[in-house]
Amino acid sequence: MLLEAQHLTKTFGEHVAVNAVDLQIEKGSFTALLGPNGAGKSTTMNMLIGLLQPTAGQVTYDHAPKLGVVFQGSVLDDILTVQENLQVRAGQYRHVPADRVTVLSQQLGLTTFMSQRYGTLSGGQRRRVDIARALINEPDILFLDEPTTGLDIQTRLAIWSLVQRLQREKKLTVILTTHYLDEADSADNVVVIDHGRVLARGTAAEIKNRYATDQLTLTSPDVAQLSAQVAQKPTRLTANQIVFSLPTMQTALDILTANRSLISNFEFRPGTMDDAFLALTGKEMR
């Protein structure tokens, strides 16, 4: 295991921000810490990178890996150009190849705005440069704290696919925080956090399987008869429709097959991360 956290806990006065969180991060994995605002994601990340001292529990790395960190707020200089910013950062490390900034700018698609001042870039361009900055020392683990918050959907997707590509091609270990449920879908390890506690962990598919129910909506000329024939209790009933929350698609198929003559139309919707989140926390994503 590249990184392990045991019973990681942080309190601020009376407030328990992170509450006995256990984490296991394997080399080359992509972990998303998913949770709403104030869940304790940044505090957890800050303890993992050694910026915050845990109140209890511990963080163990299996060797001394190089860390790259993309913070929520940028640490770059608005007045300097992208090129200057990255060059200054590269100069702070030993053993960085002379062409590192050029190579990174090509890999991350920065070439068209390298001579532009950082302060004049769009949100998505800034994020790319922030990521380039974090990659200068060729880290073993890249931490990103909400790298896509505030970006439009296309830019979010672009940043996300960039990070995934880096993980795959460079065998980088990636740990990021997000409050976007759809983003967690593509991580191979999702840790759902709320009120400082881990509520669920696994792949997005596992979490959805375990916590999100599928939804079957049936349209029928005789709703009363249909609901009398189906063993499952409906979650919603209208004059011509019945909605069921079902544990598996097989249950939906069984209902459809057994009651064909009473069904004029149907819609099946597999459980989403939203459904899982609602089931886990009892609330919609804040």
Ligand X SMILES: Nc1ncnc2c1ncn2[C@@H]1O[C@H](COP(=O)(O)OP(=O)(O)OP(=O)(O)O)[C@@H](O)[C@H]1O
The residues binding ligand X (CB under 6 A) are: 12, 15, 17, 35, 37-43, 146, 179
CB of 12 to ligand X, least distance (A): 3
Return the closest-CA partner of residue 244 out of 260, 261, 226, 257: 226
Query: CA of 259: how far to CAs of 233, 235, 262, in Å?
Result: 15, 18, 6
CB of 44 to ligand X, least distance (A): 7
CB of 34 to ligand X, least distance (A): 10
First-to-last CA distance in the chain?
A: 33
Nearer to ligand X, 7 or 168 (CB): 7
CB of 45 to ligand X, least distance (A): 8
DSSP code for 53: -
Nearer to ligand X, 134 or 218 (CB): 134
CB of 145 to ligand X, least distance (A): 7
Written in H, E and C, the secondary structure of 212-258 is: CCEEEEEECCCHHHHHHHCCCCCCEECCCEEEEEECCHHHHHHHHHH
Angle between helices 204-211 and 273-281 (to 10 degrees): 60
Nearer to ligand X, 43 or 213 (CB): 43
Nearer to ligand X, 156 or 179 (CB): 179
195 Rama class: left (phi>0) / alpha (psi -120 to 50) / beta: left
What phi, psi does 221 have (nearest 5°)? -70, -20
Nearer to ligand X, 71 or 211 (CB): 71
CA angle 153, 180, 251 (to 5 degrees): 110
Nearer to ligand X, 144 or 255 (CB): 144
CB of 39 to ligand X, least distance (A): 4
CB of 197 to ligand X, least distance (A): 12
Nearer to ligand X, 130 or 146 (CB): 146
Query: What gap in Å lies between CA 178 and CA 283, rounded to an integer?
Result: 17
Residue type at 237? L
